[in-house]
Copies of this chain bind each other. A is one copy, B any other.
């Protein structure tokens, strides 16, 4: 090792595509992944889509010697699918479940049932505290008409919030996972610029892997060309990100990805390529903590404000869409109710005029009543669901507005006094009061 105070940490990330009975060769692939990891090359292993706890336990048994510390993050109906295996002791964990994650009635996409989340594990690398995050965002099923875009936008927003707010005490930050976003997508930019995280692929000194670092590639036998759409060769949606702090410096020495096929194996580990990054973590002498904050200069802040404004627009589009859907559900529900009342009224008339003949055939009556009740129940559930979606979107939008305000304030370089000097009737962004402390 060139630098005696530096520690080299090998980080591995893979979306395992582990849907039992649905993913091809699921059991064999997990066996292959376990065999490969058990050689103990990697210090920190971040896995996504380990949907079945049995598969996690299988890996845990296999990696008991090479990676004695592990954690499986549970959430949602099926689970988060997130797992971490580690050579370092895991001191603490925390899970944040995204407030939006698809629709329960889109069962064929299944994201809602997965309870997608971001998991945090806190480890100690020598004298340094490292926060390790693993996450998986909502899939993109159709890039041209991506109805899940606002959901993924809110997830990216919550991911950066979670990382930013929980990593204040960390000396090193490592993030791995399937973000389901291209490097230049709004969500990726938001994440990187707000947290200051650096992309291992862009930072690495040496790279051995697919062209442009793509991780969903046409060469992979589990991938159909249709999935990739206009991106013939493939797309880069899996990442290893990192950042140091005032107490630690971090570099990426080299990075590699698998390239579709695995030598001497009949098929690859997954439909995604596996990422490995060798990070060098070097403890610095304790410096003025202000140094850590100085990296966000005004140009970066201005850039961030632009990104945030764009993200707000995206979320607002989602908001209007959710409002429209809720309105449709309400209208359909009211129609169902009206139909039910009408039917009951028609049936009640001859019943009240005793002795008159029943004009309503019984079969039709019951069928219609069942239909009306089904409509009522479904629209009620949909109404509740859309209301929850609306609240989450509104919540994210509010928080973004507040963040933009605060950043603009910082750009103007003013400190705010807490005694207001003039009335601001809306109470919102009431302007700053110049006062230097």
Is A395 a contact of B65 with CB atoms below 8 Å? no
Question: Which residues of B are found within 8 Å of A388, using beta-carbon distances?
Answer: 76-77, 115
Which of A66, A91, A384 has the most chain B CB atoms closer than 10 A to its own CB? A91
Whether B402 contacts A71 by the Cβ 8 Å rule is yes
A75 located at the interface, meaning its Cβ lies under 8 Å from any Cβ of chain B in the complex: yes
Q: Is the CB of B391 within 8 A of A75?
A: yes
Contact digits for A281-318, partner B, Cβ 8 Å, 1 yes 0 no: 00000100100000000000000000000000000000
Q: Which residues of B contact A73 (CB under 8 A)?
A: 395
Known: A96-B96, A403-B92, A406-B91. A74 touches B395 (CB 8 A): yes
The segment from A134-142, A144-152, A267-275, A422-430 that touches chain B is: A422-430
Q: Does A416 contact B (CB under 8 A)?
A: yes
Q: Is A409 an interface residue (CB 8 A)?
A: yes
Residues of B within 8 A of A193 (CB): none
Query: A164 CB to closest chain B CB, in angstroms?
Result: 8
Of the stretches A82-90, A172-180, A226-234, the one at the interface is: A82-90
CB within 8 A of A74: which of B79, B384, B391, B419? B391
- A330 at the B interface (CB under 8 A): no
Residues from chain B with Cβ under 8 Å of A161 in the complex: 94
Contact with B along A111-122 (1 / 0, CB 8 A): 001010000100
**A355-387 Cβ-contact flags toward B at 8 Å (1 or 0):** 000000011001101100100010000001001
State which size class the interface on A falls in. Answer: 35 or more
Contact partner of A43 among B90, B166, B362, B418, CB < 8 A?
A: B418
A93 on interface, CB distance cutoff 8 Å: yes
Q: Quick check: A71 and B398 within 8 Å, CB to CB? A: yes
- Contact across chains for A391 and B115 when beta carbons are under 8 A apart: yes
The answer, among B70, B377, B384, B425, for a CB contact under 8 Å with A61, is: B425
Residue A5 at the B interface, CB < 8 A? no
**Nearest CB on B from A378, distance (A):** 10
A392 within 8 A of B: yes
Q: Which of B68, B71, B424, B426 contacts A430 (CB 8 A)?
A: B68
**Interchain CB contact under 8 A, A402 and B370:** no
A99 adjacent to chain B (CB < 8 Å): yes
Is A258 engaged at the interface, CB distance under 8 Å to the other chain? no
Q: Known: A61-B425, A427-B63. Contact between A406 and B74, CB under 8 A?
A: no
**A169 contacts across to B, CB distance below 8 A:** 168-169
Q: List residues 399-435 of chain A with CB under 8 A from any CB of chain B.
A: 399, 402-403, 406, 409, 416, 418-420, 423-428, 430, 432
Nearest chain B CB to A195's CB is how many angstroms away? 13
A72 beta carbon closer than 8 Å to chain B: yes
Complex Cα distance A40/B316, Å? Answer: 34
Check if A126 is an interface residue, CB within 8 A of chain B.
yes
Q: Bound state CA distance, A64 and B362, in angstroms? A: 63
**Is A95 part of the contact surface with B, judged by Cβ < 8 Å?**
yes
Q: CB distance A95 to B395 under 8 Å?
A: yes
Contact A427 B387 (CB under 8 A): no
Asked if A437 is at the interface of the complex by the 8 Å CB criterion, the answer is: yes
Known: A370-B370, A425-B64, A427-B68. A77 touches B391 (CB 8 A): yes
Chain B's closest residue to A419 (CB) is B87
- A259 adjacent to chain B (CB < 8 Å): no
Q: Which residues of B lie under 8 Å from residue A113 when comparing CB positions?
A: 384
Sample of 7 further A-B pairs with CB below 8 A, known A68-B430, A73-B395, A77-B384? A63-B427, A69-B430, A74-B391, A77-B388, A92-B403, A96-B96, A286-B289
**A interface with B by C-beta (< 8 Å):** 43, 60-61, 63-77, 79, 87-97, 99, 113, 115, 120, 124, 126-127, 161-162, 165-166, 168-170, 286, 289, 362-363, 366-367, 369-370, 373, 377, 384, 387-388, 391-392, 394-395, 398-399, 402-403, 406, 409, 416, 418-420, 423-428, 430, 432, 437
Which 5 residue pairs of A and B lie closest in terms of their CB atoms, listed nearest first? A168-B169, A366-B366, A64-B427, A74-B395, A87-B418
